[in-house]
């Protein structure tokens, strides 16, 4: 989707991916098949390009450090590095003024019990690196749950206080150092730890909406981050708690392609090529539905119907699995009650 927007702006693209059938290769001008930790291949990618970005947090940050010194990687390494370790990420957020749940490093059973004693239960135990979509984490509600948590303790972990939040939101900001633009805040609804729906605008007070936008922009400025950053927050009443961040276009921001006057991919490309950013505006209330493997046939059927205001994006992944993200559908001019009444029954519950 970055490459598609780049092409619309007259920009040629080269993609590197370890999979020979990576969907991006269908729309880029050139491609390279190589591992994300292949230093020589990454150097060759940088050599071919005027500007380089990443769209996957698990590109090893230490490999990019020397490349940032030699080539134009406008976002730099710092936001990637800060987001790759949950302990580092939470510490950085707290140090820059964002409210977080209480947290503590956990390296073994003894430190887990000490963290539980200090933070209390319920709490969430997470691996510090590589977890996503609910993987690498476990909710601890009582002392008996500690026994089952041992399987996570083979790697460094973090224990976080459980926040009894009302809902989760996410917000995408693009900052070029002179100006920052922020996309409308969306409410995230998960199923089995995976994003299912993003509803925009999120139902909250205008004051809270403005505070989320302002805090996210301030955080980027104070951290010295440039380019794109998505932040997830827990909302409890009028309080917000930093959950996690991603220095890339975010799944919850895919709705912006049709739901806004500009989109997260286009503004990232504008930043990368040095063009002025464009302030986004919401076209209409929008619901984005994530399409996992079990819903692929239903999504294909929706695509054949060609309904007005219904935009089906299938990513072209060659292997479909039940909980693998295969695409998304954006319903423009839709709110959550209407989606639930008219569309939810067509997808796997």
Pair (338, 209) in one structural domain = yes
Give yes or no: residues 280 and 198 share one domain. yes
| 138 contacts 149 by C-beta, under 8 angstroms | yes
In this structure, the answer to whether residues 217 and 252 fall within a common structural domain is yes
| pLDDT tens-digit series, residues 101-129 | 999 999 999 999 999 999 999 999 999 98
Q: In the prediction, which pLDDT does 148 show?
A: 84
Task: Return the pLDDT at 62.
Answer: 83
What does the angle CA 258 – CA 247 – CA 261 come to, to the nearest 5 degrees? Answer: 20
One domain for residues 189 and 154:
no
Task: Clarify whether residues 154 and 191 are in a common domain.
Answer: no
CA 274/CA 271 separation, integer angstroms: 5
CATH number at residue 63: 3.40.50.20
223 plus 340 within the same structural domain? yes
Angle CA 81–86–88, to nearest 5: 55
Mean pLDDT of 84-94: 97
Calculate what percentage of the chain has a pLDDT beyond 70.
99
What are the φ and ψ backbone dihedral angles of 96, each rounded to 5 degrees?
Answer: -105, 25
- Domain C-terminal end among 161, 188, 210: 161
Shared-domain flag, residues 173 and 221:
yes
Q: Are residues 142 and 284 in the same domain?
A: no
Q: Give the phi and the psi of residue 255 in degrees, each rounded to 5.
A: -60, -20
Phi, then psi, of 206 in degrees rounded to 5 = -60, -35
Instruction: Compute, in degrees rounded to 10, the torsion defined by CA atoms 50, 77, 212, 129.
Output: 130
pLDDT at 301 over 90: yes
* Structural domain containing residue 66: 2-83
Question: What is the spatial distance between Cα 227 and Cα 320, in angstroms, rounded to a whole number?
Answer: 32
Contact, 194 vs 134, CB < 8 A?
yes
Supply the CATH number for residue 156's domain.
Answer: 3.30.1490.20
Tell me the average pLDDT of the chain.
95
Kindly report the pTM of this predicted structure. Answer: 0.95
Total domains in the fold of the chain: 3
Q: Where are the beta strands (DSSP E) in 166-222?
A: 167-175, 180-182, 186-191, 194-200
134 pLDDT tier (thresholds 50, 70, 90)? low
Q: Return the number of other C-beta atoms located less than 10 Å from residue 47's C-beta.
A: 11
pLDDT, position 147: 87
User: Domain check: are 188 and 142 in the same one?
Assistant: no
Give the mean pLDDT of 302-311.
98
Question: Has residue 349 been placed in a domain?
Answer: no
Q: What is the pLDDT of residues 69-86, one digit of tens each?
A: 999 999 999 999 999 999
* Structure confidence at residue 61 (pLDDT): 80
Q: Which of 145, 161, 177 is the last residue of a domain?
A: 161
92 belongs to a structural domain: no
* Same domain assignment for residues 229 and 317: yes
């Amino acid at each position: 989707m970055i490459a598609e927007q780049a092409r619309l702006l007259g920009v040629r693209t080269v993609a590197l991916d370890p999979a020979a059938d990576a969907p991006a290769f269908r729309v880029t001008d050139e491609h390279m098949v190589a591992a994300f930790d292949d230093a020589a291949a990454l150097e060759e990618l940088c050599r071919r390009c005027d500007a380089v970005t990443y769209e996957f947090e698990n590109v090893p940050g230490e490999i990019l450090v020397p490349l940032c010194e030699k080539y134009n990687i406008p976002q730099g390494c710092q936001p990637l590095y800060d987001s790759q370790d949950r302990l580092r990420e939470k510490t950085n957020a707290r140090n820059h003024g964002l409210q977080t749940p209480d947290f503590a490093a956990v390296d073994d059973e003894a430190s887990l019990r000490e963290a539980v004693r200090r933070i209390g239960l319920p709490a969430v135990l997470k691996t510090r690196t590589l977890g996503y979509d609910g993987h690498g984490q476990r909710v601890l509600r009582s002392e008996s749950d500690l026994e089952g948590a041992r399987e996570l303790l083979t790697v460094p972990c973090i224990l976080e206080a459980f926040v009894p939040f009302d809902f989760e939101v996410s917000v995408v900001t693009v900052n070029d150092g002179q100006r920052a633009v922020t996309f409308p805040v969306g409410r995230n609804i998960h199923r089995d730890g995976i994003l299912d729906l993003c509803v925009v605008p999120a139902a909250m007070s205008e004051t809270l909406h403005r505070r989320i936008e302002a805090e996210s922009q301030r955080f980027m400025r104070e951290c010295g981050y440039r380019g794109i950053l998505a932040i997830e927050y827990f909302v409890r009443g009028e309080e917000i708690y930093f959950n996690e961040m991603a220095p890339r276009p975010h799944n919850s921001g895919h709705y912006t392609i049709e739901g806004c006057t500009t989109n997260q991919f286009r503004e990232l490309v504008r930043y990368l090529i040095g063009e002025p950013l464009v302030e986004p505006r919401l076209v209409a209330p929008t619901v984005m539905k994530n399409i996992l493997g079990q819903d692929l046939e239903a999504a294909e059927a929706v695509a054949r119907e060609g309904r007005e205001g219904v935009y089906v994006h299938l990513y072209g992944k060659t292997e479909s699995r039940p909980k693998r993200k295969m695409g998304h559908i954006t319903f423009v001019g839709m709110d959550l009650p209407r989606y639930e009444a008219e569309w939810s029954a067509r997808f796997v519950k």
